[in-house]
Amino acid sequence: MSIDASIVKQLREKTGVGMMDCKKALVETAGNVDEAINYLRKSGIAKAEKKGDRVAKEGLVFSYIHHGGRLGVLVELNCETDFVAKTDGFSDLAHNISMQIAATNPLTITRDEIDQSLLDKEKEIFTDQAKESGKPKEIIDKIVEGRFEKYYAESCLLEQQFIKDPDRKISDLITDAVSTLGENIVINRFSRFSVGESNLTEKSK
């Protein structure tokens, strides 16, 4: 069954669940959003959203070294209890996130953390590029908005496509782990080190 992307987006906004799980739920419920929400709740996936408000003070600092010691990543991944922090599932998540950072070098964890001055510069560039098309202002605004979404998807860790599975975002990995492990999980901060790069910046929430 074909499911319209707008309905999948609607379900995602209501539940906070990953796109693939939303699509599966809609397929199982013939595209009915309310029934899909119930389906997700019964499967335990939607419960992950409610755990997002709980305090995550435990966790681990995970290190990942790549390219024969020429590239390294440190990630602080937090959860609620020391018990979960010691599980294989939590360590696997930290490893996947570290690999993602090593491969993509994101600017921030979320879009809210990007410096406004940088966004203003990008908007000016996007707008000038769009104006060259000669399209009306309302169309130009939509083009700029679309380019910003692409910018966020490339620059913000949680919005990036997972390098091992492009159909999923890093935020989907977090949501799945929260559902599986039963605790709130937060990427608190990370640093990426590469031989020859002098300007190291720590990214944190």
The predicted structure's pLDDT at residue 103:
95
Q: What is the pLDDT of residue 139?
A: 83
Q: What is the mean pLDDT of residues 146-170?
A: 93
- Fold classification of 53-110+156-204 (topology level): Tetrahydropterin Synthase; Chain A (3.30.479)
Higher confidence at residue 143 or residue 61? 61
Measured from the Cβ of residue 52, the count of other Cβ atoms closer than 10 Å reads 14
Inter-residue contact 62 to 72 (CB < 8 Å): no
Strand 161-162 and strand 58-66: the pairing is unpaired
Give, in order, the Cα–Cα distances in Å from 148 to each of 33, 155, 158, 205.
Answer: 28, 10, 15, 20
183 contacts 51 by C-beta, under 8 angstroms: yes
The third-level CATH classification (topology) of the domain covering 5-45 is Helicase, Ruva Protein; domain 3 (1.10.8)
Predicted confidence band at 182 (pLDDT cuts at 50, 70, 90)? confident
Banded model confidence at residue 11, pLDDT cuts 50, 70, 90: confident
- pLDDT of 194 > 70? The answer is yes
Closest Cα to residue 49, out of 38, 57, 58, 41? Answer: 41
pLDDT surpassing 80 at residue 114: yes
Q: How confident is the model at residue 143 (pLDDT cuts 50, 70, 90)?
A: confident
How crowded is residue 172: how many other Cβ atoms within 10 Å of its Cβ?
A: 21
Cβ burial, residue 34 (10 Å; 0-12/13-18/19+): exposed
Name the residue with higher pLDDT: 203 or 124: 124
Q: Is the pLDDT of residue 158 over 90?
A: yes
Predicted confidence at residue 12, as pLDDT, reads 75
Residues forming a β-bridge with 162 = 165
Facing residues of 194 across strands? 71
In the prediction, which pLDDT does 19 show? 76
Half-sphere exposure of 140 (CA within 13 A, CB side): 15
Q: Which of 39, 127, 121 is nearest to 15 (CA)?
A: 39
Decide: pTM greater than 0.75. no
Q: Classify 127 as helix, strand or coil.
A: helix
For the chain, how far is it from start to end, CA to CA, in angstroms? 39
Q: Give the residue with greater pLDDT, 55 vs 194.
A: 194
114 touches 107 (CB < 8 A): yes
